[in-house]
Structure formats: C-alpha cells, structure tokens
Amino acid sequence: MNVSESSSLPGRELNVIAVITAIVLSVSVLVSALELLQPRLLSWGSMLWPNYAKLRQTLVSPKCDPNPNLAEALRQLEEEALTDDLGLFEIEFDREAAILSLEKSRSQCQQQHAVFQALVLQSSVAVQLYKSFELNISQAVAVITGYHRYFLLLILLLGVALATLYQQHIAFRKAQRPLEQMVSGVAQVIAYALLLTSAVAYWRVLVNYNSHGLLLVALMIVGLGVMIALSLWHLWQCWRCTERWFVPGERISVMKVFLCIPLFVHMVLLTALYFIAQDYLGGIMVLFFQLLTHVSLFLKIALYIWLGMLLKQTRLGETFFSLIKPWRLQACWLVVLVIALLAYPTAYTGASGIIVIALGGVVFRCLLQSGVRPQLALAATAMTGSTGVVLSPCLLIVLIAALNKEVVTTDLYTWGHWVFLVSLGVLWLLVRMTQGPVQQLSCDWCLALRSSKKQLQLLLPYLMIFVGVCGFSAWALNAYLDEFSAPVLLAITMLGIVYYDKYRVSRERVLISGQFQPNSPSIRQASNEACVHIGALLMLMGMSFVVGGVIERSGVIHWLPQSFAEPWMMMALLVCVLVVLGMVMDPFGAVVLVSSTLTTVAYDNGINPVHFWMVCLVAFELGYLTPPVALNHLIARQAIGEQIREIDQKWESASVKSGFWFRHEKLLLPLVVMSCVLMVTAFGPFIV
C-alpha cells in the first residue's frame, strides 16, 4: 500500500459523514426557506381574514360584566367616598361624573365582548388549521434557529475529521514522501493536543461561572479528542505501510518538509506560544469560539461550498465554456470574461476563497480545454472572484457597514463597481501585453454560430430551472436573489440542476456502445468533498480569529504612528499593514480587527471612511494572492487536485528556456494586477 494513495480522497467515501453533512446543510436550507415563508404566511392570512392578526392569538373571553347593575355599583362608590378614612377622596363625591364613568366602562366591556364574539364566529375550521400550520412553522424556526451554533460546530468537526483522515488540510505544499507525511502528522497531533488543552481550560472557567456554553465546549473537546485519534491512526498507517523512509541519493530539503505542515498548525503553534507566555492557554479557544458569534454568516459559507461541489458534479461549467469555445476568443478576452462572470457569485459569498474552492477545478479545466496556457489558467483560477468582493450584495460590505456607522452599503457598492471596472481593465491590458504577438485565429462565423446554438439548447434547461426558482420565490415568497435569500434559492436551483443532470446522463447512456459514458452526478460525493473543504477552510478561518485576537491583545497595531503630515503618507503605511493582515487572516476576521484598531487613526488623519474601506477590501485580496502564504493559490491547488502536479512537471520541463515572467506567471499576474488596482484605489483620490 502506498502512503500517498491513502492520503488522497478514495473512491468509496465515508457515507456516514457525507450523509450527516448533507442532512445538516439541508436543515439549514429548510430553516432559511421557512424564515422566508413565515412573513408571507402572515401576509396571506391577513389577505384571507382581515382580523387574522387577532385570530392567530389565543382567544380569551373578557372578564368584565357586560350588563352590570349600575345602581348597585353607584351605591358602592358612594359608600366608599363617605367612609374614606384614609383620605383617598380629597374632593366631594360627584354623582353625575360617577354615573358617566360607569356607563363608559359598561360600553367598553360590551364592545370587548362584541369583538370577542365576532372573532369566535370568524374562527372557523379553516382558520384554525391555517393558524396551527403558521404557528407551528414559527415555533419550528425559533427552536431550530437556537441550535444553529451546534449545527456549525458539528459541520466544522466533521469537516476537520475528514480533512485530517485524508490529509487534505490547506498547506504550502502537499505531503508526498513518507518523511513529509510523518512530520505533518506529528505536527497535527501537537496542534490538536494544544487546542484540546485550551478547550479543557476554557471548560473549567465556564463550569465556575455556570455558563450556557458548556455543551458547545464539551462537544469541541470530544471532537478534538477524535482528531488526535485520527492523526495517530494516520501516523500508524504511515509507519506500518512504509518500507523505505529514505531513497538512496535523494536530498532531503528541510524547508520542503516544513512547508508540508498545514497552515492552521503554524497558527496554533504561534498563538499557543503567546498564550503560554501569558499563562492563559484557554485564550486560544475563547478567540476561536468567536467563529460561533457569526453563526449565520459561516453557515452560509459552508452552504456555498456545498453548492459549489454540487456544481462540480454537473456539466454546467463545461456546457457554458462549450458555448464560447467555437468563437476562438483570445486569451486576454477569455480570462477577463471568466473572471468578470465569476465576480458576481463572489459578491454573494463575500470571500474569493469560497469561489476558488467551489469552482476552481471547473474553471481551470475549462480554460485548459479552451487553449489557455497552464500558468495563465492557474493565475486566473487563483484570482477567480478577487474582483467581486466590492460588488453588491457582498456580505463583507454588509459586515463593514454594520460595524462602522460612518459608511453605508450604498456608497461602498457604488464605488465598488468603479474599482471592479478598473481591475478588469488592468487585467485585460496585462494579459494582452504578455501574450506576445497575437495570432489571428480564423473563425468560421456560420460554424461557430451553429455550434453555439446547439450548446445554447443544452444550456437552456439549466437557465429555465434558475429562472423558474427565482421567479416562483419572487411571486410566492416576495424573496429576491439578495444576500439573505440567495443561499436558499441557489440551493434549490442547484439540487434541481443535479437531478436534471442525472436525467441527462441517463439518456446519454443509451447511445452507441463504445462512446464515453459520463458519470452520474452524486449528491453523496459532492457532500463528502464539500465536507473536506468546509473543514479545512473553517478551521483556517477560526484560527485567523485567534491570530487577530493575538494581534489586538499584543498592541502591535498601536505601535504605528498616530498622525502624519499628509493623508497620503498615512495611506502608504495603511496599505502595507492591510496587505500583511490579508496574508494571515480571513476577510471577516480582518474586518473585525481593523474596525476596532485602524479606523480611528485613518479617520483622524483625514482619510474618507468610504475610501479607507475600499482600500481595505482591495488590500485584503492582494494579501490572499501574495507569497509566502498566498492563500488563494493554496486553495486553488487543492480545488484542482492531483492534476496540478502533472501540469507543474510538464510546464517545468517545457519552460526552462522561457522568460522569468512565463515561468512564474501564476504568481506574478495576480500580484501585478491587484497591486495596480490597489495603487489606483489608494492614491487615485488624492491625485484627483
């Protein structure tokens, strides 16, 4: 048995984990759909029964007497006034005013009884059934929403367990040799042990205060214990299955072995050293659990990754690229078109890394099939969606506006569209300049039109499913494709597309014998792959919260100068700091950190709040593409899979005589493009 084979995703997945992940994500989709349905049920009830707002409440008969004895009541009031020993009645008893008051009370009581009787008459069987249905949905949404944090933690632990078992955590390079796998496994055992120690320390603190988060921390402790067991099992498999640790004559690179350690392990070790020095090891888990304070946001992230894996199972991407392939577009136009189209899915997810995970493999494969050179295809895949974080309705911008009252989403979206156009222009210009002399490709317009028409017919059912779901939700639920309803609508759309693709594949399998038989889309396979990516990415995001907390607690940010002579000097310093933050943190954690540390300094030095946050967004994206971390490149390589290794080997042998740019284009192109956009965004307003 080869160790490297055991570390990759096998053909027969762990069905239990895939099923649990799919169920939890489906429940999240169902709850979100019920949240959209609930206000519509109230609206429909009011349309059918004008008094439905009162009918849905428990009808209680008024306790007052509608026909009281006014004479007796008047006599009692008069006796109370005459026997006033406590001095409650300071003025003389007014008989006429008392009679008017008693008559008014009787009238109000009779009116209440009349309303009650009318409601009882209107409360038919249909109303009771509708009311029971609507109230049960409201109660179900309230109950299940209370367990959202447990759903997120369960998905995180399942994903991390699967990523640990298959060694699919995000790292600078994949562990291939036995020594690299052993070092990576030992480092993971140490990291999980430190996290377990921190969780136990945090649990002891919560026990003393009888906190309600004990169950969450207990679940985390059990999960980390499972991670340690899985890591030890993997180490045992490596030790048992490896016959030769060192190949004779092979040079061992300590740096390459070090780079095989997952990225989250480096974060755990560094933050653990800080908290050990502070004698507060439980601080790691305190900061890590900030992930659960934004539970709905990260559940959407997990859901978007699942949708991306479902899309990967279908042939929608290949069908779309087959639509434009006959026109033989130049590389500059093709790359710009792909990145422009995928910027809008990024606007819904709020993070470019999610789109790279979800669609990176499809984009890379289709670009290669369209004739784009491998290095350019890798560069385009890594920066897929990097231009979309400034577009509406990006969740990241919503978070910025929620944390900073100086800006509103409308202004950020307006200027974001201009930044988006600048980034596309810079990308087209750079690809056009570096592709050399353009060879005019002959294109038979009639043939291309017929081929595109045929592919459009194949694409039309996918489009009809999407339009049908969105149209029905707009008509029935008054829910449109925005940042709130997009996860639900896209999930329903994608499930419909998967089942349509199953039907399409079943029809194609009756073709002539010997032709290629496509694999049928599998929700189980998509759920399993999504679980791995969710675990790897959410673990990295959780640790980025810890890193951000360490940076804030250490006070490093406050070492920066607080005032400058000119705003552009402050902006130059902020650009450097923001890019570094983007290299080590996820965007949501970075926004929280910047909101509490750098905003006041920037505003006090004359930088416009909208200008500052647009620079932040672009600087973060540049940080995700900048070595030595280059998180989007790491995610892209993981999304592409084993195919990337073969392409790297072929390209290295073929590009020995190529120039520096073409050998490193996958890194240089995104860096130059986003750097130019950042310079324009940061210093352009000062020049204007």
Place 157 in a pLDDT band, splitting at 50, 70 and 90: very high
Provide the 8-state DSSP code for 476.
Answer: I
For the chain, what are the domain ranges? 156-243+253-281, 295-687
Of 168, 154, 353, 197, the C-alpha closest to 264 is: 168
pLDDT more than 70, % of the chain: 87
pLDDT at 514: 45
DSSP letter for each residue of 615-628: HHHHHHHHHHTSTT
Q: pTM for this structure? A: 0.81
pLDDT at 487: 81
Query: Which residue is associated with the tokens 């009252």?
Result: 405
> 608 by DSSP, 3-state: which?
coil
H and E: helices and strands count for the chain = 30, 0
pLDDT more than 90, % of the chain: 16
pLDDT at 51: 82
pLDDT at 172: 81
Mean pLDDT of 280-307: 86
Q: Copy the structure tokens of residue 399.
A: 């978070």
CB 575 within 8 A of CB 619: yes
Would the pLDDT of 551 be above 90? Answer: no
443/448 Cα distance (integer angstroms): 7
Mean pLDDT lowest among 280-294, 397-411, 501-515: 501-515
637/667 Cα distance (integer angstroms): 13
Mean pLDDT over the full length of the chain = 81
Select the more confidently predicted residue: 372 or 643.
372
pLDDT at 144: 85
CB 575 within 8 A of CB 560: no
Mean pLDDT lowest among 43-52, 183-192, 673-682: 43-52
CB 380 within 8 A of CB 329: no
Distance between start and end Cα atoms, the chain: 65
- pLDDT, tens digit (0-9, with 9 covering 90-100), for 458-480: 888 889 999 999 999 888 888 88
H or E stretch covering 94 = none
How many other C-beta atoms lie within 10 A of the C-beta of residue 85?
A: 5
673/289 Cα distance (integer angstroms): 36
Dihedral angle, C-alpha 317, 322, 324, 325, nearest 10 °: 120
Would the pLDDT of 621 be above 80? Answer: yes
pLDDT at 227: 93
603 φ, ψ (degrees, to nearest 5): -65, -40
How many other C-beta atoms lie within 10 A of the C-beta of residue 20?
A: 16
